[in-house]
Amino acid sequence: MEKEILNMEEAANLFGVSMKTFIKLLKEENVPARKIGREWRFSKRALIDWLSRGNSKDYSSSEQDTRQYFEQVAGKWEEISSQYYDSSIINKIIDSGFLKDNMTVLDYGAGDGFIARGIAPYARKIIAIDTSGSMLDELERKAKSQGIANILTFECDINEVPLRSASVDLVCASMILHHIEEPRELIAEFHRVLKPEGILFIADFLPYEDEAFKNNMHDFHMGLDPVALEKWLIDIGFYSITIESMSSRPDKNIFVLTANKVYAE
């Protein structure tokens, strides 16, 4: 006889998720459940009914708004973004000395290829991933006009990194994490796809106070706290973390961060 009352492990298996994900779900959603003593118990029928009444739009509307925004501004993104950051980020990557001509580099949140096109001459292959197909169309058009042929583009959902584990040498996440609701989850994915000796490069806004800017740019966060970011990186398994502040605008400053997947002497 098929079980109707499930324990937590069985309920997680029913949903096809890890225990960690299921516990997070219990904390954030009104999952039908009872706690008997110290043990959780779930009705299989109630869980299936609760799942069937869910609405994907409740979870994806904010992500869709962000995606639609970048679809709309793709042709003007170079003009828009130049108001907030410039090629100093590219120069920082190049001057760091960690680019090698045999490297495979992931440029996540590549947009129109500002970073990917800038560092393409210094690497074997650039994998440019973005949630906006229109942005990637711009990237391909600009790369072709510049004679760049070593950039591969992939469209994906937010927080998705559709690459094999330990498949890239360097991950660049430039001006993207403030657009992500749960950046820690994405950073864990960066750790997964990096090779054991891989390097992570992040550039992003320092915390700012400008609610109108946040809303206009469809950001989730008004900049990032580098101290909190460093803690996430350490918890995930990154080492040798360096953080440097860079000038941008009087009201919007940028920091750059590098980290290694393994400890460097």
Confidence at residue 213, expressed as pLDDT on a 0 to 100 scale: 80
Please, are residues 169 and 198 in contact by the beta-carbon 8 Å criterion? Answer: yes
Percentage of the chain beyond pLDDT 90 is 61
Q: What is the pLDDT of residue 159?
A: 82
Q: Is 1 exposed, middle or buried (0-12, 13-18, 19+ CB in 10 A)?
A: exposed
Q: What angle do CA 184, 189, 125 make, to 5 degrees?
A: 130
Per-residue pLDDT at 57: 58
Give per-residue pLDDT as tens, 105-145.
Answer: 999 999 999 999 999 999 999 999 998 889 999 999 999 99
Give the torsion through C-alpha atoms of 163, 192, 121, 74, to 10 deg.
60
Which residues, including other chains, have CB under 8 Å from residue 39's CB and lie 6 or more apart?
7, 8
pLDDT at 130: 93
Q: How far is 129 from 99, CA to CA, in rounded Å?
A: 19
pTM above 0.75, yes or no: no
Q: Are 138 and 75 in contact (CB under 8 A)?
A: yes
pLDDT < 70: residue spans in the chain: 1, 56-65, 67, 247-251, 263-265
* Backbone dihedral angles phi then psi of residue 177, each to the nearest 5 degrees: -65, -30
DSSP symbols for 214-263: HHHTT-SSSS--HHHHHHHHHHHT-EEEEEEEEEEETTEEEEEEEEESS-
pLDDT of residue 74: 76
